């Protein structure tokens, strides 16, 4: 109930809300936070790059070792050869070299098989590191295609080819079929066994008991007599023969013609 003019004034006067500061937009706050985070990450990345630039890159050390090996006189131009550089700890922190890296072969090290290559910096902050490496050379060798027995005359059908690391081979290995075909085995060979010069011999062209021509003399004066072979023999081998005219036993070398030349 209105009792007078004062009461009416109260009803017609609106109460003003207290003033409050304007609230920032949510997207603006998010953008500000993102920019701040980027700035922190950028500063951190820059610091990391600056820190890494103080150290020699692992890849440059490996490259120096590999380039040295590939250019070594004992490897350069060698067919079927692979050079592999071993593992280096990624946490390695050698000072960044201000001169070209120098690779070298340490005393006693080889340039084949498993080896070690030295890499050094001779700059203002010198260091030396030894890098593991391996050099592998493979070649094609001839192996037996089946079990073969001693005395067997080797034919093309007895041969197969196989690739092997040259370090596992003796110097007597054979790689050309003409080195094997027509030869006789001096021992049994298992299937897959390596043909070597040590297990092969020329076929016998003279058999024990065979009548042969025995040649004697020198300086252009040669005499041939008939003899009996007392041993089997191949070209170039020495056998004993019995002169049928004198019954004397002599030793001679078998020539390609089948003649036995007296010693």
**pTM of structure:** 0.55
| Dihedrals phi, psi of 220, to nearest 5 degrees | 85, -15
Residue 15 forms part of a structural domain: no
Same domain assignment for residues 67 and 126: yes
User: What is the full per-residue pLDDT of the chain (263 aa) written as tens digits?
Assistant: 333 444 433 332 333 434 444 444 565 556 556 555 544 444 454 444 444 468 999 999 999 999 999 999 988 888 889 999 999 999 999 999 999 999 999 999 988 899 999 999 999 999 999 999 999 999 999 999 999 999 999 999 999 999 999 888 877 899 999 999 999 999 999 999 999 999 999 898 999 999 999 998 766 678 899 999 999 998 889 999 999 999 999 999 999 899 999 98
Give the range of the structural domain holding residue 72, as residue numbers without chain letter.
58-137
CATH assignment at residue 189: 3.90.1210.10
pLDDT in tens, 87-144: 999 999 999 999 999 999 999 998 889 999 999 999 999 999 999 999 999 999 999 9
| 100-102-108 Cα angle (round to 5) | 175
Query: What are the backbone dihedrals phi and psi of residue 66, each rounded to the nearest 5 degrees, phi first?
Result: -70, -40
C-alpha separations of 209 from 153, 164, 222, 229, 232 in Å:
21, 44, 24, 5, 8
Q: What distance in Å separates the CA atoms of residue 260 and residue 214, rounded to the nearest whole number?
A: 5
Domain co-membership, 236 together with 213: yes
Residue in the structure block whose two tokens are 């391996």: 134
Q: Which residues pair with 166 in a beta bridge?
A: none
SS3 177: helix
How many CB atoms within 10 Å of residue 80?
12
């Amino acid at each position: 109930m209105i009792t007078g003019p004062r009461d009416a004034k109260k009803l017609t006067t609106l109460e003003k809300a207290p003033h409050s500061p304007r609230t920032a937009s949510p997207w603006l706050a998010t953008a500000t936070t993102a920019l701040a985070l980027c700035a922190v990450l950028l500063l951190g990345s820059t610091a990391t790059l600056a820190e890494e630039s103080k150290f020699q890159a692992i890849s440059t050390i490996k490259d120096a070792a590999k380039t040295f090996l590939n250019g070594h006189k004992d490897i350069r131009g060698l067919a079927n050869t692979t050079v592999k550089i071993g593992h280096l700890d990624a946490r390695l922190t050698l000072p960044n070299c201000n001169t070209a890296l120098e690779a070298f072969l340490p005393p006693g090290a080889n340039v084949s098989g498993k080896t070690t290559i030295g890499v050094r910096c001779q700059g203002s902050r010198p260091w030396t590191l030894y890098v593991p490496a391996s050099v592998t050379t493979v070649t094609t060798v001839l192996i037996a295609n089946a079990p073969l027995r001693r005395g067997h005359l080797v034919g093309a059908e007895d041969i197969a080819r196989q690739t092997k690391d040259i370090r596992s081979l003796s110097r007597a290995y054979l790689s050309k079929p003409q080195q094997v075909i027509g030869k006789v085995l001096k021992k049994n060979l298992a299937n897959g066994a390596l043909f070597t010069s040590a297990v092969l011999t020329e076929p016998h062209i003279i058999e024990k008991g065979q009548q042969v021509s025995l040649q004697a003399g020198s300086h252009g004066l040669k005499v041939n007599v008939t003899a009996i072979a007392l041993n089997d023999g191949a070209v170039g081998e020495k056998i004993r023969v019995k002169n049928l005219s004198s019954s004397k036993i002599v030793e001679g070398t078998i020539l390609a013609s089948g003649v036995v030349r007296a010693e």
